[in-house]
Structure 1
């Protein structure tokens, strides 16, 4: 297995890995790489839904979801995203967000597997939340560090969220599900959220993933956010998503120095 960092300063490409055959040594290295880089891109996989569940289990215990139209019977761990309603959930996440931020204990890790892809459209954007905070002016960092946000379901999170393993602060905001910033007026709240939205999208800060069939992307939701882009509903596209529970995540003992390392 070879690990090559992406040039943006976050994310890494994993080569020479068949996730169906990942043993304890490879799993340990993958977890360390995810903690270090925030996002992993692994192309050329061939996973059944059951094999995706097993591969996601390398990172911890999985969340489950209710069975709905387009979802897979008997596999509540799979959340299927699609361009057509008969294939899964449509029009999902076209704003900056981290999966599971509506939970009191946010979802730490998401794992996507590309089942079927169209040639055009449906790319996913990723941005580094830790770097987004680091690039703020010190006075803005200080202001933001004292603020909290409320989801529409009442769940409250700090606007600056420290990673539970590394302690590194990140600018954490779900632009679609957050009702507002607490302790400020509606106009100031809206202005702050719009400013964060623009900051996430600043030039040079985003990675755009063009999906190919067999692609896997794994994201640390407390390190990076993502955003879907439109796809023609006439095209057929399916992504299977699995997620790791906050109370079941397996963080490595430490991160650092994974780039270019090999594992048998």
Structure 2
């Protein structure tokens, strides 16, 4: 481990050797993520199980891996590669754009031109599937057409972000639980990653309808007030943004035919502002996204249920209890579509 707690250790040499025996290489990206070459995603079913396991473990530790593909991937290649990880099954809840190849319901087609894909998705830090008890384990991004003038994805390592919090916030955030505004599903604000073992923060800044706090010295819970929830969301946004300077966040730009897979319990993501700029400024951008079934519930502690009736009456008139739509608006001047 490096001396700096907000820096990741190098690639595990034993896992690198397993990948090398299959003709591949894996190299750490700075400051997070890893790049893979020599592994053929046009035949993902032929990748040896021990190589899949090694790649999945590195993804859990480094947040994401990018395959620099020498051969062009078909939509089916991309989807078959997506289910190498996590729950090993596609779980798709999105709309299908008319330009989606074959109308495939497992491809979420994104673009900065609504004629080619769904625009304006994911402007705030989030993890996919926050409306589900078992949130998506992984997500995939296959760039079909990278914009000529930038327009990538921001990734932030949520384990390193927890490490960067002051001790008092680490303690308090472990007593906080978010309520999804669309479904009422409850998730911990801090969870222990099932593979890396890191304490990791986890909050959807575009779909949170309430946050419950476990009282520190007694039984029971309270709802955060509007001022408290605003401050929490701003702090969460700030600690992830700080990763760009402090070594745990990356502004990733796609190259032609890149395929990125993320561990959805290890990194938060958001579209870069440039990704949503009009075609006249950035050129056309098209990307396909996949989502993978969760392997286990992201369950709350202290006896909290996995679901609460967020569309029903508030249990505490002093706190925020907001169902539907994009949830609590913690800043008046930011886009909230997710």
- State the TM-score, normalizing by the size of structure 2: 0.69
Q: Deviations over 1:156-181 (max 9, x none)?
A: 21111222344422110111111232
State the SS of the aligned residue for 1:19.
coil
Equivalent position of 1:39 in the other structure: 64
Greater strand proportion? 1
Q: CA deviation at 1:21?
A: 3.4
Equivalent position of 1:63 in the other structure: 91
Q: Deviations over 1:26-69 (max 9, x none)?
A: 32332222123221021235210011111112111111245344
Alpha carbons 2:97, 2:103 under 8 Å: kept: no
| The 10-residue stretch of structure 1 (142-151 or 231-240) with the greater mean CA deviation from structure 2 | 231-240
Q: Any unmatched runs of 5+ in structure 1?
A: 250-264
Alpha carbons 1:70, 1:89 under 8 Å: kept: no
State the SS of the aligned residue for 2:191.
strand
- State the TM-score, normalizing by the size of structure 1: 0.87
Equivalent position of 2:38 in the other structure: 16
Q: Give the direction of change, closer, same or farther, for the CA distance of 1:113–1:194 in structure 2 (3 Å limit).
A: same
Q: Deviations over 1:81-114 (max 9, x none)?
A: 1111122211000111111122121111011111
| The 10-residue stretch of structure 1 (203-212 or 90-99) with the greater mean CA deviation from structure 2 | 203-212
Q: RMSD in angstroms over aligned alpha carbons?
A: 1.9
Q: Any unmatched runs of 5+ in structure 2?
A: 1-23, 213-222, 298-338
Equivalent position of 1:29 in the other structure: 54
Alpha carbons 2:42, 2:74 under 8 Å: kept: no
> In the aligned structure 1, how far is the partner of 2:57 from the partner of 2:249?
22
> Number of matched residues?
248
State the SS of the aligned residue for 1:180.
strand
Residue 207 (1) aligns with residue 250 (2): yes
Q: 1:187 aligns with which of 221, 227, 240?
A: 227
Instruction: Output aligned runs, 1:1-264, within 5 Å.
Output: 1-8=24-31, 10-22=32-44, 23-24=47-48, 25-45=50-70, 46-59=72-85, 60-65=88-93, 66-153=95-182, 154-182=184-212, 183-202=223-242, 203-204=245-246, 205-229=248-272, 230-231=274-275, 232-234=277-279, 235-247=283-295
Q: CA deviation at 1:74?
A: 4.2
Larger radius of gyration: 2
State the SS of the aligned residue for 1:30.
helix
Q: Deviations over 1:184-239 (max 9, x none)?
A: 21101111110110110002332111112201111101100111123332221111
State the SS of the aligned residue for 1:175.
coil
State the SS of the aligned residue for 2:115.
coil
Q: Which protein, 1 or 2, shows the higher relative CO under an 8 Å CA cutoff with sep ≥ 6? A: 1
